[in-house]
Each structure stands twice: as C-alpha cells, then as structure tokens.
Structure 1
Amino acid sequence: MSRPIKTVSIVVLASVLVFAVAREGYVKYVQDLIFGFDELERARELTLSGKDLVNQSHYDQAENLFLRALHHKEAALGIHHPEIAVDLENLGGALAAQHKYVRAEISFRRALTLKESHLGTDHPDLVEPIYNLSAICGFLGKNSEVELLFLRALSIKENTLGPHDPGLVDPLDRLTTFYDNHSRYADEAPLFERSLAIKERVLGDHHPAVASALNKLALLYKSQGEYARAEALDKRSLKIKEQILGPGHPDVAGSLNNLAQLYVSQRKYAEAEPLYRRSLDISQKTFGEEHADVAGILNNLAVLYDNQDRFDEAEQLFLRTLRIREKVLGPSHPDVAGTLSNLALVYKKLGRFTDAEALDERSLRIKELTFGPDHQEVAGSLNNLALLYTTQGRLEEAEPLFAR
C-alpha cells in the first residue's frame, strides 16, 4: 500500500531541514555560487563591449569597461586566478593605445606573473605576454629589460622547439631588430645569420623571403665595413629575385639600388651607375614618372654624379627629385628637406652661394617644424648654414649657428 502524498511531503521537508542544520552555511554557499555566476557574466559582457570599443578606436571608454570587467572577475575568482591575466592584458592594451605606458606596464607585468605562477617559467604560452611587456618597456626607454625579455622569449622557444625550428625565426628577428636599432651590429650578425639559415632550410635557397633576408644581412655587413661579404649577399639576393619575380619587378629594382649604394660606399662609381639606371627604368615603368620610389633612385643617382663632380647632371636630377617629392609628399616633408640640402651642396661647389643659402634656410625651417628645435637633424642643417656663412667670410652670422 503506497504512502499518502501528504506524508511524503512532510518527510521531504524534514529531510531538507535536517540537511540544512547539518550543513551550516549551506544557504551562504548557494548564494556565493549565484553571486559568482553573476560576477563572471557581468565581466564577460563588459569585456565584449570593451573589445567592440577597441575596434572603434575608443580606447578611453574601453579602458573603463576592461577595468570594471577585471574587478568583477577578481570578485568572482580571486585576484590570483589565472583567468585574471586575460583581463589584465585587455586593460594593458587599451592603456598602451592611449600612451599610458606606466599603467600599461603594471597590467602586463601582473598578467605575466599570474601566468608564470600557473604555467611555470618556461612555458611557450609565456612568449606573447613577454612580448607585450617588452613593447611597453621599449616605450618607457627600459632597453636593458627589453633585451632580457627578448632573450628569455628566445630561450623558451629553444627549450620548447629545439635550436633549428622555424618557430625561432620570430624571436630571432625581434632580437636582431632591437640590436640594429641600437647599432649593436656585432651582437646582431650571428643571430641574423641563424635566422637566415632556418629560413633557407624551411623555404629553400630561392624563396623571396630568403632574398629579403639576404638584403638585410648585406646592409648589416655594409654598416660594419665588410663590403665583400655584403656584395656577395646583395648579388645572391638580386639573382633570386630576377629568377623568381622576373627582371622587371620592382623588388628587383630595390636590390639593384642596394647593390649600387654598396658600390658608392666603396667609390666604385662606374659599377654603381648602370645599376641605378636600370633600377630607375624599372621603377618608372612600374610606378610612373612621379612616384616616391622614382624620386629616391633619382636622388641616389644625383648623389653619385655629385661625387664625380658632374654638377650639372647632379643639379638636374636633384631638381627633378625635388619636384616629385614636393608634389607627392608635400612641401614640408623631411625628404624634401634632405633634397634641398643636397641641392644646396651642389650650388656651394658651383659658387652659387645665394641659391645655396635659400635652400639651406628652407631645409632648416622644415626640419625645425618636423623634428623640433633640438633635434640632431636640425643641428645638421644649422651646421650646413654656418659653414656656408664661413665660406663667404660671414663669421658673425656663422658663430651663433655653430654655438646653437
């Protein structure tokens, strides 16, 4: 015979009451679960809205939403939970986009620390947060720490992937770029060679990416005065590009220009001129007569003529360069200032001091406007103008420019 429904309800109720008494704090436990769920849901919604604002470049508003999301996540999970790192990275990105680098550093550093505590100090997932922090340290001028962070990222990749894996190319290239920016060419060269060797093994000897790497390594050797090694690399890069892209490709023009500049550095003007002319012909056919790339090659060819005392030819090419750059880049562009200085130098050699002075003064104004009064580019223009005054015996006008 079945038990009456009323009796069952009383039994169930009694059981619940007993359970509640036995588990003191059960109600609070359930409330905490509900609270935690609500906090995480709020954090998720705020994060999605923040990312939408980032996509719209509204970084200040995104910062506020990411900060609120972080607070909700911390309330739900605690401040040491590994998921907090994601919110810190979102916040750090929004802060960095607003140039709030000190606060961004705090966020990215804390995110890295949280991931280290969860993953250990040698996990591959640490590489990206290391890069985030290194970027901020770079903006803050903490170059020693940037180097250490890049070296650590490389070490993690090596320990994880081995010394020859393609995954090492990225950290190697980041480190070589850092050394190049700080003129530490002796440190840069072996890492660049290692990166190149990996690319050659993975992509083959005749890949465009290998050709580009050869060009960059050649520039590195050129900066160290190792012209023979640089020449061999430039020639090899040119050959690859001609075979893969064809002899009339603009990338071939770039390699021709690089090799010509290398010859100019060694005063091998006869070897340089035909390379410049071929590079110019390719660029004009590709881009037209009035293009920034065309202007760059014209400027290089004009410098070559100036070095050979072919002043009339140099003047005509500098004037053509100036017209193109003014039209394409605008009359106040730094490249225009450089062309003005080059043309002024030709006029000085021809004894046309009035023309040279006008050009040097205009170049100085552009650089002051672009870089500010205390930049080294401005110092160079001041020196040019002072030397011009000295050549004319105008020492009283030259002296304050030298002093400045």
Structure 2
Amino acid sequence: MRGDVRISADSDPVAAILQDGGPATTVSMNLIRLAETRNNAGDLPGARAAAEAALKVIMDAEGPDAPVVALALSTRGRVRFEAGEYEPALADLRRSRALLDGAPAPLPEEIATLIYDEARVLDALGRNTEAEAAARDSLTRRQALFGPVHEKTADSANLVANALTAQGRHAEADPFYRQVLGMYEVLYGPDDFHVAIVLSNLANSLRRTGRAYQAEPLYVRAVAIAEQANDPVLLAQCLTNYGWFLHITGQGEKAEAPFRQALDLALQIVGPNHPFTGVARANLGYALADQEKWAEAETPFREGLATLEAGIGADSPDLLETLDGYALVLARLGKDAEAETLYQRAATIAGSRLPPAHADSLATTEHYAAFLVARDRPDEALVRVRAGLNELLGQDVRGRDWRNRVRGAGPLFGRQVEAAWAVSAAAD
C-alpha cells in the first residue's frame, strides 16, 4: 500500500539539519556547508537538495530581498554551474551580488568571489568579452585584498587568460598563464592539481601560436599529474586538451584513446546531459573522422551537438568546432543539404558572436569554402573567403596576435587561390 513516507533523518542529512531546528540563519548556514561539501565531492543531487533547502529556510524567515539570502543564492548558483545549468547559475549569482551591494556593511571578499564566479559562468556560455571584464574585475579586487601571490589572485589571473584565449588573443594570454604557473608552483608545489590545470591551458596557448613542439610536453605532464591526483574531473579536462592537441597535429588515431577515456569519465562524473559530456562526444567524433570512420563519427557528433545546445545555447561560439566537424562528416556521407545547413549556421554564429578576424571565424569560413568548392560553387566560396581575409588584413592593429592570425590563416589563403582558379577555369 502506498502512502506518505517519512524520511529518516539518519539517512538524509538535509532532513537531520531541518529536524535539529534552531534560528533560521544557523539552519541555513549548516545546509550551505552541507551543499558545499556535497558539491566538492561531486554529489550534485545532494548538493542541490541542501542548497535548495538552505535558500527556502532563509527566504521564509527573512524574505526574498534580505542581504542574508545572498549566501544561499550564490551557493545554489555554484551547484547549478557544476551541473551545467549556466543561465540559471548566472541569474542566481547576479541576484546574490545585487543583494550584497545593498547590504549595510560592505563585504569586499564575498563580492570579489561572486564576480569571479560570474566570469566562470560567462566563460562557459561563450560570452567572452563579458567574461574578460568580470575576470579582470575580480583580479583587481583580489590583488587589493590578498596581494599579488595568493591562490585566489592566481585563480582570477588564470580566468583572465582563459577569456583572452577564447577571443583568440593568445599573445596576451601567454604571460598571464606563465604568471599563474609560477604562483601555483610556489603555492602548491610542482605536482599539485592546480599546476596541471595551468600547464594544460598554457599548452593550449602555445599550440595556438604555432609552438606545438613546446606544448606537447606540457600536456603530457598535466595528464601525469592528474592521474596521480586521483581527480577524475581534472583528468577528464587534461585528457580532453591533450586529445585535441593530437587531433590538431594530425594524430587522430592516437587522439581516440584519450577522447574515449575523457567521455567515460564525463559520463561517470556529470552524466549524459552535461555540456562537458557534449564536448567529449563531439571530440570522439573528430577522432573517428580523422580516421575516415565517417559513419561511426556521425552519432557522437549528433549527440554531442544536442547536449551542447541544451547547455550553452544554440548560438554560442563554443558550438563552432562541433558544427564544422559534424558538417564535414555529413558531407562525406553524402548528406549535403544537412551539411550546408550546419555550415551556414556556423557562419552566422561566427559573424554575430565573435570579433572580426577571430581564428575560429576564419576556420569556419575556410571549412565552408572547401565544401562549396568541392561542389562546383567556387564563386560563392570566393565571396566568403575574400570577406574573411578582408577582415583580417584590414585591421589597424599589427601586434603579435595579428601576425599569428595571419600565419594561422594559411589554409584560408590557399582556399582563395583554389576558388579563384576554379572560377577562372569555369569562365574559360
């Protein structure tokens, strides 16, 4: 017979805290500590239950606009971030900050942390210029609070570098990564998991600026540290970066193993519907495509794209590589109409969400142009290629990043020559 079931406080720590009672602020704080403990342990359902209970207790007692509600809101926001629910997380964090800004006593450390958390969410959403601004704000505040060599200062500097990297400003990101690496090695030692994170990020920067020979040892060292740390989240991240390096450098067969391991870890850690799992599926698709296993690659690309769209939005620039890879696979399988729809969509996202002449935008243009040339439409390809190159060559800034982008645009220059010859041949 079904009926009301009493939850045992012995088996449910949230129920135990609620049954213990006491002032609302005390109960809420105990639930917040529980949520943080569960979140750090990777128990997202347990963390969510504790965070929701903490928020309900304090809001029922103090009302939704009391500054004391801010801590419970920010806790729920961090749990939502870990669960891949980025928009709701951002809403919680911003509401929490608004409440703290209205508090009678300033709380500079808490506000700096909220701004840092906002930057992390914005980075995950692909809102890169906003992420950079928030990360720089948190860095300035933390330097003033903690000094130039402190774990929180280093975390903010690392996030600034990530935001710069996402915008293709790798030469600007490089010194930040090196600064952070030095701080982490001093603060934690050379084999700490923090060091693995920045090693992998610095390797990404080196790879993107044409220094792959310097990057590979850093990827290998990062994976080794992650394996020793017994941290599955860190290991999945480091394997993903190393696998992508192998893919980019034409070693797709070698990339398959780290990509499969990263996907297995993602499924264990965050489940099938998290954006990180979407990335892991799409990456496996790339490794299979590198080996011309087109039919096998279609499913991981399709599933990866669907998962990413649900988590980061249908117009995020972080979809570009997945869209391009999936389109190539569809084209090789003879599904040209579906492939072109994805190429067009990628072009639209790049044009609306990325700054002019961004490396990812140029790559998207080159891939679409290759598709058009192969289908005897070189005139359309030439229009797209010239527009992309005009953006690149017409820029006023002639810094190191600009030179790197020109060197990196070699395939696009080659595609221009190919399309121009094809147009000329057709005219003859």
The TM tier, using the shorter chain, reads 0.5 to 0.7
Q: Distance in 2 between matches of 1:153 and 1:374?
A: 33
Structure 1 residues 176-185 or 288-297, which shifts more? 176-185
> Per-residue CA shift, 1:240-295, capped at 9, x if unaligned?
33233221222221111111112222222222111111011111122221111011
1:352 and 2:251 are equivalent in the alignment? yes
Q: 1:251 to 1:150 in 2, by over 3 A?
A: closer
- Give the match's secondary structure for 2:12: helix
- Give the match's secondary structure for 2:63: helix
Q: Write the mapping of 1:323-338 to structure 2, written as runs, cut at 5 A.
A: 323-329=224-230, 333-338=232-237
1:274 and 2:175 are equivalent in the alignment? yes
Q: Write the mapping of 1:38-187 to structure 2, written as runs, cut at 5 A.
A: 92-97=8-13, 125=24, 128=27, 139=45, 150=55, 153-154=58-59, 156-158=61-63, 163=65, 165=67, 167-174=68-75, 176-177=77-78, 180=81, 182-183=85-86, 184-185=88-89, 187=91
Identical aligned residues as a percent: 20
Q: Write the mapping of 1:4-403 to structure 2, written as runs, cut at 5 A.
A: 92-97=8-13, 125=24, 128=27, 139=45, 150=55, 153-154=58-59, 156-158=61-63, 163=65, 165=67, 167-174=68-75, 176-177=77-78, 180=81, 182-183=85-86, 184-185=88-89, 187-198=91-102, 201-203=104-106, 207-223=108-124, 227-329=128-230, 333-364=232-263, 370-371=268-269, 381=280, 383-395=282-294, 398=297
Whose radius of gyration is greater, 1 or 2?
1
Which ranges in structure 1 are unaligned for 5 or more consecutive residues?
A: 1-87, 116-122
Q: Distance in 2 between matches of 1:172 and 1:378?
A: 26
1:233 shift after superposition: 3.7
Are 1:218 and 1:234, in contact at CA under 8 Å, matched by a contact in 2?
A: yes
- Give the match's secondary structure for 1:94: coil
Q: Which amino acid aligns with 2:218?
A: L
Q: 1:154 to 1:274 in 2, by over 3 A?
A: same
Q: 1:338 to 1:232 in 2, by over 3 A?
A: closer
Q: Distance in 1 between matches of 2:288 and 2:242?
A: 17
- Give the match's secondary structure for 1:93: coil
Q: TM-score, normalised by structure 1?
A: 0.56
Which ranges in structure 2 are unaligned for 5 or more consecutive residues?
A: 1-5, 36-43, 304-428
1:402 shift after superposition: 6.6
Q: 1:169 to 1:351 in 2, by over 3 A?
A: closer
Are 1:322 and 1:339, in contact at CA under 8 Å, matched by a contact in 2?
A: yes
> Per-residue CA shift, 1:160-209, capped at 9, x if unaligned?
xxx565x343344345446655431563254122233156x5245xx433
Q: TM-score, normalised by structure 2?
A: 0.53
Are 1:248 and 1:282, in contact at CA under 8 Å, matched by a contact in 2?
A: yes
Q: Distance in 2 between matches of 1:175 and 1:287?
A: 29
- Give the match's secondary structure for 1:156: helix
> Per-residue CA shift, 1:81-132, capped at 9, x if unaligned?
xxxxxxx9xx8431215xxx9xx59x96xx69xx9xxxxxxx9659848997
Q: 1:194 to 1:140 in 2, by over 3 A?
A: same
How large is the Cα RMSD of the aligned pairs? 4.5
